[in-house]
Amino acid sequence: MFEKRYKSHHDVKEIINKLTTKKIVTPFSFNKILNEIPEDKEAGIYVHTPYCDKICSFCNMNRKQVTENLDDYVNYLCKEFEKYGKKRYVQSKEITTIFFGGGTPTIYKEHQLEKILSNLIKNFNISANCEFTFETTLHNLTLKKLAIMEKYGVNRLSIGIQTFSNRGRKLLNRTYEQEKVIERIKEIQENFKGLICIDIIYNYLDESLEEIENDAKIVCKLGVDSVSFYSLMIHEGSNLSKALNENKLNFNYQLYRDKELHHTFLEKTLNNGYKLLEHTKITNGKDEYRYIKNINSFSDLFAIGVGAGGRVKNIEYFNLNKLITFYAKDSDFKYRVKKLSGILQYPEVSLSEIRNLTGDNIYPEILKLLQEFKKSKYIEFFEDSFKYTIDGIFWGNSIVASLVRKMIELKR
């Protein structure tokens, strides 16, 4: 039914941006909003660290291998916290989710980490039950850093494991072998009161069923609080892409194999107490992942740091560097298309919400498309909702792409 499997919500975002126009706006328009009183109270913060001490072979993110002292960047972040904290709009907001991404945010030295976090807390009104996440690797997260983070409210770790397979870890340029990885996760669990969340990549080069089954088995045995699981995406600019282009490695992607590995991992974890949180994430019930809910609902997200992207009302912005930020304004229609893509990420979707976003004129055609997905056994209808089947979860972002395309097509 689909010509291509889209593996991530980022793929859907690219489709929306390609098929709809955006209006470039000036920093003046953005700063004007920041001096207003907001209509609602909740907001999130995203802080980007564009540095790593080791580059994963599959990564093409906005980061570089650190070769210098990061004091200048630490001071820059603290000045940004202070700048935002003085704005009327920000002062009226209660921060309910904070996400430190990268790069590797635990690359900072202990005193630098303390300075960053103390300045963050000082300049924002942070909710008592704020979800506060740090992305991290295992090799640079010391127990001292962990204590500092917890002292300032960090209550969720997102650890880039990718696989427990020794062969897979070598291919993906990960530190430590399986035994040490498990040992370190257990050590963190013993010394951290918050949630432990990990990433798993499947269908890396020549991955066997035994390897993905073992990843699922270890996940369940460790009892981590959630897992983001993705089929390997080979991006231009990554070391893995370069090796493939130079014929140093070979990867013959097969869709049936992608599906087989996906279903194996998902079925084994769902049968051992986990449940689906969104297309590419499972949880043991403890992790709410409020940050992704902020992203999917297109709520206010204050973006701080080089390479950080965020949103205030209907203006999205991206910090190209310390001096230049790019701003773009969504039309009401584009905003509704994006909201539709957001609600479609979850395992159960309200038909009433879809109708509210598409409008009465477009909704009947959207419903027809959903009925086609039902015939293909990708979804199941209920009274005023539908749920994805396991095949539907696999094709989830392709389903979302089809629906947003249809909405855009019918608007023209």
Residue 320 resides in a domain: no
- One domain for residues 95 and 207: yes
pLDDT of residue 54: 60
d(CA 160, CA 230): 12
For the entire predicted model, the pTM comes to 0.93
Residue 321 lies in a domain: no
Confidence of residue 53 (pLDDT cuts 50, 70, 90): confident
User: β-strands 23-24, 325-329: how paired?
Assistant: antiparallel
Of 279, 297, 315, the residue that ends a domain is 297
Give the model confidence (pLDDT) of 84-117 as tens digits: 999 999 999 999 999 999 989 999 999 999 999 9
Res. 362: pLDDT tops 60: yes
Is 277 contained in some domain?
A: yes
Q: Which domain holds residue 389?
A: 1-21+331-412
pLDDT of residue 233: 83
pLDDT range class, residue 224, cuts 50, 70, 90: very high
| Measured distance CA(287)–CA(294) in Å, rounded | 14
**Are 6 and 29 within one domain?**
no
> What pLDDT sits at residue 246?
72
Per the rule left: phi > 0, alpha: psi between -120 and 50, beta: everything else, 288 is alpha
* 35, burial (CB in 10 Å: exposed 0-12, middle 13-18, buried 19+): exposed
Look at residue 228 in the predicted model and tell me its pLDDT: 97
Q: What's the token pair of residue 178?
A: 């399986």
Q: What is the pLDDT of residue 298?
A: 92
What is the rounded CA–CA span in Å between residue 410 and residue 412?
A: 6
Q: What is the pLDDT of residues 323-344, one digit of tens each?
A: 999 999 999 999 999 999 999 9
pLDDT per residue as tens digits for the range 239-291:
777 777 777 777 788 999 999 999 999 999 999 999 999 999 999 999 999 99
Domain ends where: 274, 297, 320? Answer: 297
Residues 56 and 78 both lie in one domain: yes
Q: Does residue 283 sit in the same domain as residue 355?
A: no
Residues 17 and 80 placed together within one structural domain of the fold: no
**201: closest CA among 234, 247, 163, 152?**
163
Q: Which of 58, 43, 23, 17 is nearest to 331 (CA)?
A: 23
Is 234 within 8 Å of 253 (Cβ atoms)?
no
SS3 state of residue 87:
coil
Same domain? For 4 and 76 the reply is: no
pLDDT computed for residue 64 by the predictor: 54
Q: Please provide the DSSP assignment of 146-180 as one string.
A: HHHHHHTT--EEEEEEE-S-HHHHHHTT-SS-HHH
Do 16 and 61 have their domain in common? no
pLDDT for res 52: 83
Tell me, yes or no, whether 65 and 41 share the same domain: yes
Q: Which residues of 256-277 are buried (b: 16+ CB within 10 A; e: fewer)?
A: ebbbebbebbbebbeeeebebb
